[in-house]
């Protein structure tokens, strides 16, 4: 449809490349969104970038692409990015009655960040936008575009067999047996009907979304008590769908929550009328008395009131089933003009893509590097700082009581006027960092370790983000792990999300110490790095920044190399010690907040 007017590229479930497949991501959804960005990069060139990118909201497949665009990605800088409402994992879990999102907390947080960063929210009609606005009332949703539901693909017309001249009303319900589908409401409504002349066929896989997490099929069977008029059968394959339609008089869609109306349109196109609750785009897909019937509300009582006259007068259903009204309703629903016009209007408002970067304003950046027995690597680390494309940069190297003969390399580095070396007795790297921050002269401070390596463009890229959005507190990036010799490790790297996205206190996806930070935000803290922090000073910094409204951004590219030493924290401290250390830091933060 869109291909009639535009050049369209479809990306579906791409696999991540070997380059990123071994990175540590916050979740499998996070990893898949990185694969989506890779697929976009493979499909387009910087001189022919995409004007528009659309992703669904379910499990946030466009999150990394949105982060990359915010970070000045050359291909996506001018791309408008829309999120289509298809039912987010958060909403699906809630309408299925799952306590605490049923394990979908992380997917929900990624989805929220995707919505926050997007330019448009596309919705199909009906009550969908109202539900999203009410549910995400705490989130500034992007401007909404009513774009309708994509129509079902055209297929050769196949007439249904005629309905039998007499007999019970044959009701079909298709889809997974879950709470949000309203299937229990439908069963209860049918069992309460004053007429006995009906049959209900449920075709769908079982789920454990009944009250108290019980099996839906078991619950339905208990409600029915062996009533032969209700049968549950295995889900039908796609090729069997039309045959199912032909065996019934009416499709029931009793959903409590729904977005698109694909199933209803498929049934109507096959010639089967639809009874549906007034949710999602069904409100507009079903024309009462012509293509089906709308219940006045959700729930068993409303469904029962709508079914009662149909069971009592099956000929009324047969007349709709055999009329030409169904085909006309589907024809109007499948007319692409309204959707194409909505896209044309939206794309006409989009800015033309540009590959040029915003100019970084002249400003001094000071890199703060704590040093202790890192003589083999510190020259490479400092060299990578001095080789940044942003040249207004100096380095404060804080020697944390390391006075062995080989530490004379610090004197060699201090020969460069851009490098200042100061000494303190051995008090730990957090005290060394705080001392370096005190002595730093730049408005922006780059935190860095003495055995890591920074790619040349990191500071310029991070500075552009901080200058564009003064409310940002810090900018970090993905890290690539290297061994002591500088070779890439099979363990890949680390892909943080920033401190805005995840609420978990048990893991750090906020970022590594390698970050460019605004001095203005650090001054809001009593001390940037907590003196009591041992192995989690960066985690603690980003949590305390979040507490005062200071959020970070991530450049989703490996612009830093993190050296894994045999004695490094990743290798020398087991998970139990990590958890203990972090629990102590959280306790200190709570005590300090309490005064």
Show Cβ contacts of residue 218 under 8 Å, excluding neighbours closer than 6 positions. Answer: 206, 210
Q: Is residue 254 part of a domain?
A: yes
Of the listed ranges 136-140, 358-362, 580-584, the least confidently predicted one is 580-584
- Assess whether 134 and 180 both reside in one domain: no
Q: Is residue 228 part of a domain?
A: yes
- Rounded to whole angstroms, the Cα distance separating 213 from 129 reads 29
pLDDT of residue 137: 96
| Residues 378-432: tens digit of each pLDDT | 999 999 999 999 999 999 999 999 999 999 999 999 999 999 999 999 999 999 9
| Residues 22-55: tens digit of each pLDDT | 999 999 999 999 999 999 999 999 999 999 999 9
Of 324, 349, 374, the one marking the end of a domain is: 349
Q: Is residue 162 part of a domain?
A: no
Residue 252 has pLDDT above 90, yes or no: yes
- Assess whether 110 and 192 both reside in one domain: no
| Residues 281-302: tens digit of each pLDDT | 988 889 999 999 999 999 999 9
- Assess whether 417 and 519 both reside in one domain: yes
pLDDT interval class at 349 (50, 70, 90): low
pLDDT interval class at 163 (50, 70, 90): low
pLDDT of residue 344: 87
Strand partners, 424: 400
pLDDT of residue 457: 97
Residue 376 has pLDDT above 50, yes or no: yes
Angle at CA of residue 183, ends 181 and 187, nearest 5°: 165
Q: Give the tokens for residue 409.
A: 């390399």
Of the listed ranges 79-83, 86-90, 336-340, 505-509, the least confidently predicted one is 336-340
pLDDT of residue 354: 47
- Assess whether 103 and 175 both reside in one domain: no
Of 349, 375, 405, the one marking the end of a domain is: 349
Q: Give the tokens for residue 257.
A: 């929550």
- Assess whether 463 and 557 both reside in one domain: yes
- Assess whether 74 and 8 both reside in one domain: yes
pLDDT interval class at 576 (50, 70, 90): low
Interhelix angle 63-70/105-117, rounded to 10 degrees, is 40
Show Cβ contacts of residue 150 under 8 Å, excluding neighbours closer than 6 positions. Answer: 1, 260, 339
Q: How many Cβ atoms from other residues are within 10 Å of residue 240's Cβ?
A: 11
Q: How many Cβ atoms from other residues are within 10 Å of residue 209's Cβ?
A: 25
- Find where tokens 């409600």 sit: 223
Residue 590 has pLDDT above 90, yes or no: no
Q: Stretch 154-181: mean pLDDT, rounded?
A: 80
Total domains in the fold of the chain: 3
Residue 352 has pLDDT above 50, yes or no: no
Strand partners, 421: 397
Q: Is residue 247 part of a domain?
A: yes
Q: Is residue 575 part of a domain?
A: yes
- Assess whether 388 and 247 both reside in one domain: no
Task: Identify which of 261, 280, 255 has the alpha carbon closest to the alpha carbon of residue 332.
Answer: 261
- Assess whether 492 and 589 both reside in one domain: yes
pLDDT: which is higher, 284 or 349: 284
pLDDT: which is higher, 506 or 547: 547
- Assess whether 147 and 179 both reside in one domain: no
Indicate the pairing of strand 274-276 with strand 292-294: parallel
Residue 375 has pLDDT above 50, yes or no: yes
Its domain, for residue 115, covers: 2-151+344-349
Q: Is residue 535 part of a domain?
A: yes
Residue 246 has pLDDT above 60, yes or no: yes
- Assess whether 505 and 374 both reside in one domain: yes
Q: Is residue 266 part of a domain?
A: yes
pLDDT of residue 553: 97
| Residues 68-103: tens digit of each pLDDT | 999 999 999 999 999 999 999 999 999 998 867 777
pLDDT interval class at 328 (50, 70, 90): confident
pLDDT of residue 324: 83
pLDDT of residue 353: 45
Residue 572 has pLDDT above 50, yes or no: no
What are φ and ψ of residue 180, in 5° steps? -70, -20
- Rounded to whole angstroms, the Cα distance separating 21 from 16 reads 6
- Assess whether 139 and 197 both reside in one domain: no
Give pTM, 2 decimals. Answer: 0.92
- Rounded to whole angstroms, the Cα distance separating 251 from 505 reads 47
Report yes or no: 499 and 113 within 8 Å, Cβ to Cβ: no
Report yes or no: 422 and 398 within 8 Å, Cβ to Cβ: yes
**The CATH number of the domain where 298 resides is what?**
3.40.50.2000
Q: For the chain, what is the mean pLDDT?
A: 90
**The CATH number of the domain where 528 resides is what?**
3.90.550.10
Q: Which H or E element spans position 342?
A: helix 337-349
Report yes or no: 41 and 76 within 8 Å, Cβ to Cβ: no
Residue 182 has pLDDT above 80, yes or no: yes
Q: Is residue 555 part of a domain?
A: yes
pLDDT of residue 325: 84
Residue 280 has pLDDT above 80, yes or no: yes
- Assess whether 108 and 206 both reside in one domain: no
């Amino acid at each position: 449809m869109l291909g009639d007017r535009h050049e369209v590229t479809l990306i579906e479930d791409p696999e991540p490349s070997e380059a990123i497949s071994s990175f540590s991501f916050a979740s499998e959804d996070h990893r898949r969104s990185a694969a989506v960005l890779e697929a976009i990069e493979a499909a387009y060139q910087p001189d022919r970038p995409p004007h528009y990118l659309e992703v669904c909201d379910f499990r946030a497949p466009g999150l990394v692409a949105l982060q990359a665009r915010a970070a000045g990605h050359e291909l996506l800088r001018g791309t408008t990015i829309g999120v289509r409402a298809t039912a987010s994992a958060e909403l699906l879990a809630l309408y299925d009655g799952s306590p605490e999102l049923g394990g979908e907390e992380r997917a929900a947080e990624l989805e929220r960040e995707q919505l926050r960063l997007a330019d448009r929210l596309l919705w199909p009609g009906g009550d969908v936008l109202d539900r999203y606005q009410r549910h995400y009332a705490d989130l500034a949703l992007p401007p909404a575009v009513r774009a309708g539901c994509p129509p079902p693909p055209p297929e050769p017309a196949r007439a249904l067999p005629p309905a039998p001249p007499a007999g019970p009303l044959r009701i079909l319900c298709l889809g997974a047996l879950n709470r949000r589908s309203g299937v229990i409401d439908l069963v209860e409504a049918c069992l309460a009907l004053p007429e006995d002349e009906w049959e209900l066929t449920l075709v769908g896989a079982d789920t454990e979304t009944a009250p108290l997490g019980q099996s839906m099929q078991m619950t339905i069977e208990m409600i029915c008590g062996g009533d032969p008029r209700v049968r549950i059968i295995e889900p039908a394959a796609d090729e069997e769908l039309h045959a199912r339609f032909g065996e019934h008089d009416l499709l029931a869609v009793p959903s409590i929550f729904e977005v698109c109306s694909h199933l209803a349109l498929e049934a109507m196109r096959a010639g089967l009328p639809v009874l549906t609750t007034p949710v999602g785009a069904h409100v507009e897909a079903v024309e009462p008395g012509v293509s089906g019937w709308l219940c006045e509300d959700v729930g068993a009582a409303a469904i029962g009131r709508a079914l009662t006259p149909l069971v009592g007068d099956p000929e009324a259903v047969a007349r709709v089933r055999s009329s030409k009204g169904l085909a006309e309703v589907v024809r109007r629903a499948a007319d692409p003009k309204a959707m194409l016009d909505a896209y044309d209007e939206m794309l006409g408002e989009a800015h033309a893509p540009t590959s040029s970067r915003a100019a970084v304003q002249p400003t001094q950046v000071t890199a703060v590097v704590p040093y202790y027995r890192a003589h083999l690597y510190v020259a490479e680390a400092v060299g990578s700082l001095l080789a940044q494309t942003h040249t207004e940069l100096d380095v404060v190297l804080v020697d944390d009581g390391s006075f062995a003969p080989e530490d004379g390399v610090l004197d060699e580095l201090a020969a460069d006027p851009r490098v200042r070396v100061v000494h303190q007795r051995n008090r730990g790297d957090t005290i060394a960092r705080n001392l370096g921050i005190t002595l730093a002269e730049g408005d922006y401070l780059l935190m860095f370790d003495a055995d890591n390596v920074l790619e040349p463009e990191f500071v310029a890229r991070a500075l552009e983000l901080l200058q564009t959005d003064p409310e940002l507190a810090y900018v970090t990036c993905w890290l690539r792990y290297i061994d002591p010799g500088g070779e890439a490790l099979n363990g890949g790297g680390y892909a943080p999300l920033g401190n805005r996205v995840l609420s978990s206190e048990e893991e750090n996806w906020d970022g590594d110490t390698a970050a460019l930070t605004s001095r203005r935000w650090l001054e809001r803290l009593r001390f940037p790095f907590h003196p009591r922090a041992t192995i989690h000073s960066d985690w603690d910094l980003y949590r305390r920044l979040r507490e005062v409204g200071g959020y970070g951004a991530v450049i989703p590219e490996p612009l830093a190399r993190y050296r894994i030493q045999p004695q490094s924290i990743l290798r020398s401290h087991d998970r139990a010690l990590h958890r203990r250390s972090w629990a102590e830091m959280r306790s200190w933060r709570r005590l300090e907040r309490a005064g």
